[in-house]
Structure 1
Amino acid sequence: MNAPQSLPHPAGGAPRPLTTLRTGRRGPVLDIELHDPGQGNAVTETMLDELLAVLTTAEPGVRVIVLSGAGDDFCLGGDRTEYAGFLDHDPTGGGIRASATKGRLVCEALSGNSAVTIAKVHGKAIGAGLGLALACDLRVGSDTASFRLPELALGLPTAWGGLLPRLLNEVGAARVRELVLTGRSFDAHEALSLSVLQKVVPENRLDDAVAAWARPVVRRPEGALRVTKTLLNSYTAPTRLADASALDAELMAAVLAVTHYARNEGTVHHM
């Protein structure tokens, strides 16, 4: 990727280097790569800050944004070590709340972006990683990709970035209930049947699949594209039942704070 790997400093100082992302511009296409492969591209506070800054920084002429992951996996989900650190610093869950709010804003910046957003998924997309992919307009996965929602087994609510209402809207309540309650993995072909993905190809054809989507999109008149995306989002929103994703941060913080307190006090009760 050959675009600048830095962001403008908010106070007008020297640009801040990107540490968890790599970006590249190919004409009207902006590539954003989650780039912390040693940690499975886990979603951290720094990554959320950088994603939000990149996605909300106006770049004239961008019609398509492609989100991908470096290394073996697209994204292994939230960084649980960082969550534990937040709770140690503030047992009431303030850090968790702030981080989860950023997660919602990042996903809204993907879904509500004036450009068409494409998730290019390989390897594993777990938890928050699946949330990032699902926030994109179009999603292509390699035929070896896999997906999982492990939150319940980890003592967490499925409340990150508006993931649950998006899943209910795209997949349907009965199937989502099974995936959330069991936490089982599902492969790319099942993801296709569930509309979690819209296309499955061999991993070495992922770039070709993205290009095939991007080519017609970049030729569309900018105004018409922007209005059409707004219409699609507007018409989809009412079908999300009661979209309580604004409460995701509160739910995440409350559950983790209670669990953290109970564990430290030794008052965990078994049903």
Structure 2
Amino acid sequence: MTSDADGGTEGFVLVDRPRPDVAVVTLNRTERMNSMAFDVMVPFRDALRQLGDDNDVRVVILTGAGRAFCSGADQSGERGRMPNIDGLTGVTVALRAMELLDDIIVTLRRLHQPVIAAVNGPAIGGGLCLALACDVRVAAESAFFRAAGINNGLTASELGLSYLLPRAVGTSRAAEIMLTGRDVDAVEAASIGLVSRVVPDDQLLDSCLETAADITRWSRPGVELTKRTLQDSLDAASLEQHMHAEGAGQLLVRLMTQNFEEAVAARKEKREPKFLD
């Protein structure tokens, strides 16, 4: 099933359900390489919020239509209109615009469901930030990544890039990528941990759906708490503090569900477990 996230008026964001428990969100403005114009980003944010509230969806896959994942800032001069800006000055509108884009990054990370970035082509500037905000990144062979702010005479730091990229690839590599503005191809991205793997272009979505199927085999609270603790680890003050948080989550699922008993029984009976949480 395919639907327009903005109610069918534009179709710049598509939501597909290839499986009942998996949603594929596609940025769909191919003539602009899925750039971050407001007429794309506003329905994209709204679609993410709706999916976060959809308890039938266990995994979200984010990708782009055509030859690009997302090319970052729209440079065409036709960026669409920000909502709710009547009576505001240009400075305030700019602040609201940045808040909107920041909110998308935060929303991706706050979703209950794991998010897989199916990077089908260039992920440039803000597009790189979108990929980094996802929990798992898989790249097509034609994909590449660029921290483009520096190329445009600005800073390379935007939308959490200087926070997320060093945590993905290390501080030295992140600094080199951001300060030079060079392209990182898919093979290099996999070698430095920016993506988990590289697949042929025509196998990208199927590969991500296989990963989604591997995730949805497991219990909902187990998956959601694992996502949460992985993200919390980025800001943990100490190993001991983080282990306490991990232990509390583990005990919560162990004591309040029969999932562990079901897993043990399923192994003995040589069958797939059925977690009822």
| Shorter-normalised TM range | 0.7 to 0.9
Going from structure 1 to structure 2, the CA distance change for 1:85 and 1:123 (only over 3 Å counts) comes to closer
Kindly indicate whether the alpha-carbon contact (under 8 Å) linking 2:60 and 2:116 is maintained by their aligned counterparts in 1. yes
2:36/2:74 contact within 8 Å kept: yes
Equivalent residue for 1:28, pick from 18, 21, 27: 21
Larger RCO (CA under 8 A, 6+ residues apart): 1
| Structure 1 residues 183-218: Cα deviation after superposition (integer angstroms, max 9, x where no partner) | 111110111122111110111111231122111211
Displacement of 1:85: 9.4
Identity score, percent: 29
1:154-190 CA distances to partner (integer Å, 9 max, x unpaired)?
1222333212200011111111111111111111011
Output the CA distance in 1 between the equivalents of 2:12 and 2:92. Answer: 23
Seen in structure 2, the aligned counterparts of structure 1 residues 84 and 17 have a Cα distance that, compared at 3 Å, is closer
Q: Any unmatched runs of 5+ in structure 2?
A: 82-86, 238-277
For these two proteins, the number of residue pairs brought into alignment is: 229
AA paired with 1:28?
Answer: D
Q: Please say if 1:222 is aligned against 2:217.
A: no
Aligned to 1:10: none
Is contact 2:39-2:79 (8 Å) kept? no
Tell which structure's C-alpha radius of gyration is larger.
2
In the superposition, the TM-score normalised over structure 2's length comes to 0.76
**In 2, distance between residues paired with 1:221 and 1:152?**
43
Q: What TM-score results when the alignment is normalised by the length of structure 1?
A: 0.78
CA distance in 1, matches of 2:211, 2:93: 38
1:84–1:226 CA distance, 2 compared to 1 (3 A): closer
Instruction: Tell me the residue number matched to 2:60.
Output: 65
Confirm or deny that 1:19 pairs with 2:5.
no
How do 1:1-271 and structure 2 match up within 5 A? Answer: 2-7=1-6, 15=7, 17-25=9-17, 26-57=19-50, 58-82=53-77, 93-238=91-236
Of the structure 1 ranges 142-151 and 128-137, higher mean CA displacement relative to structure 2 is found in 142-151
Could you tell me how far apart the structure 2 residues matched to 1:3 and 1:92 are? Answer: 37
- State the distance in 1 between where 2:108 and 2:74 align: 20
CA shift in 2, pair 1:120/1:84, >3 Å? closer
